[in-house]
A and B are shown apart, each in its own frame.
Chain A
Amino acid sequence: MPENLESVIEKASILLLKGATTIIPPDVKEALIKARDGETNPLAIAQLNAILENCKLAERESKPICQDTGLIIFYVSLGENFPIKGRLKDILRRATVKATSEIPLRPNAVDVMMHKNSGDNTGRYIPWIEWELVPGSDELTVTAFPKGGGSEAPCIAKVLSPSQGLKYAKKLVVDTVAEAGAKPCPPVSIGVGLGGTIDVAMKIAKKALLRPIGVRSNIEVLANLELELLDLVNSLGIGPHGVGGKTTALTVNVDYAHRHPASYAVAVAFNCWAARRSKMKIYPDGSVEFVTHKILNEWWR
């Protein structure tokens, strides 16, 4: 293990956050361009052109795509043989503080009880880290997922009765999207989680949002459900920022867990058009690979 592995992880995490907040992931950009090219409503085209122009400016000037740089969430897959484990939480916390002043990010962590903004994007349980332990691996994989507030407001989780089942789960999805209207900054990405307990359903709905746009579930029945839901949602006619048009959602990604015999949990999670996520791998020798944002590999060297 190199002596400075801790500092490598910290510096790489700052760059990861910079990539996540200033550069739209390539799959999202491609989906937005495809949406623009497929629209006939001039208002929808104007909104999508403004979005694409904004992404270009943000990347060129290294500024946050959106002023809401989100509440900072990390997904960490920790190889059981990776040399640093217990210190990771502190490292990611430090990286968040530094990224906030260096990029800069908007301070978004507000104390629920005291109504006070901490000023550095950290606080009680924040940044939130979702841990996964990977047997036999010696790699560390970190995905930064800065989550904006506007697309968090319409997220919903509900436990249906098994007799209601999938039919009512579909209804919950379309009703929730219709009710959200223009508020979550469409065209949105939608994650749907079925089964488990209510918290499990939301966790897998959120995790489904990590899957790149255009990659369907490898479970055929889910892939078909994703396409069906996407078609249903896009026939609502909300369109980009609610001006009408064909593109209300860029994708619907579904996952499920086995459920309790007595319950049928459903969760619907949203991401705004700026579906920000950035992933990197760190190896025990201190080498770093930025996976979603290849350009970061050049900046890192």
Chain B
Amino acid sequence: MEYHLNTPLKEKDVRKLRIGDIVYLSGLMITARDAAHNRVLKLLASSEKLPLDLNGLAVYHCGPVVRKLNGEWEIVAAGPTTSARMESYEAEFMEKTGVRMIIGKGGMGNRTAEACKRLGAVYTIFTGGAAVLAARGMKRVVDVKWLDLGVPEAMWIIEAENFGPLMVAIDSTGANFYADLKRRVDKNLMEKVYPKIGFK
């Protein structure tokens, strides 16, 4: 199934999504990598306010290439980064901010899948490395926070327009496309690959 959704996302819309579905997203989203995840959690732990209410928004695992033209930031290239690095932060991040969609690449683990199920959220992937294609769905930079973390790690606040195709890889039933992949690959390793090189 193909869906066109707007942020802030509603729980009932997100709960309809299933792994393999395609989503095109419009509205506000933020980029956050390791350092921005860490800062969000630290700020919330000390009861400080975030620069933006993230409830219902999407978080994109991305450190873009940007340039400033006539005082305005332009997104030049902005594909996803490896989501696994954010696994240790994500469940708590989702719970405390109310984001309903994580966008990245390469898959996420059980803790994120469990949080998606409990909170009514999804993890979706964009083709890794397809940075110019991705930038086409990012209409404008609304703001940037925390440039002290460096350009890739800063929080870029983006207005998306039909950003996608995003493939649902973890849905709110807890189904995890990449956990299934891991099982399949391990089975192939044991049954097809090891015997050919003399291991049982």
Contacts and interface: CB of A to CB of B under 8 A. Distances in A.
B166 to A, nearest CB: 11
Given A66-B77, A106-B64, A107-B151, A236 B129 contact: no
Interface string A100-135: 000011111010000011010000000000000000
Contacts of B4: none
Contact of B129 (A104, A106, A272): A272
Interface string A224-241: 000000001001111001
Interface string B90-128: 000000000000000111000000000000000001011
Nearest to A53: B133
Nearest to A185: B128
A263 interface: no
Interface in B143-200: 149-153, 165, 167, 178, 181-182, 184-186, 188-189, 192-194, 196-199
Size bin of chain B's contact surface: 35 or more
A117 B188 contact: no
A54 B131 contact: yes
Size bin of chain A's contact surface: 35 or more
B43 interface: no
A209 interface: no
B32 to A, nearest CB: 14
Contact of A238 (B63, B149, B181): B181
A119 B150 CA distance: 7
Contacts of B186: 178
B198 A54 contact: no
Interface of B: 62-67, 76-79, 81-82, 84, 105-107, 125, 127-136, 149-153, 165, 167, 178, 181-182, 184-186, 188-189, 192-194, 196-199
17 contacts: A46-B165, A61-B132, A64-B131, A65-B77, A66-B129, A108-B152, A117-B149, A117-B150, A117-B152, A167-B199, A178-B186, A181-B106, A183-B106, A185-B106, A232-B193, A236-B193, A238-B181
Instruction: Give the 10 A-B residue pairs with the shortest CB-CB distance, closest first.
Output: A117-B150, A54-B130, A50-B127, A185-B128, A67-B131, A66-B129, A183-B106, A57-B132, A54-B133, A67-B77
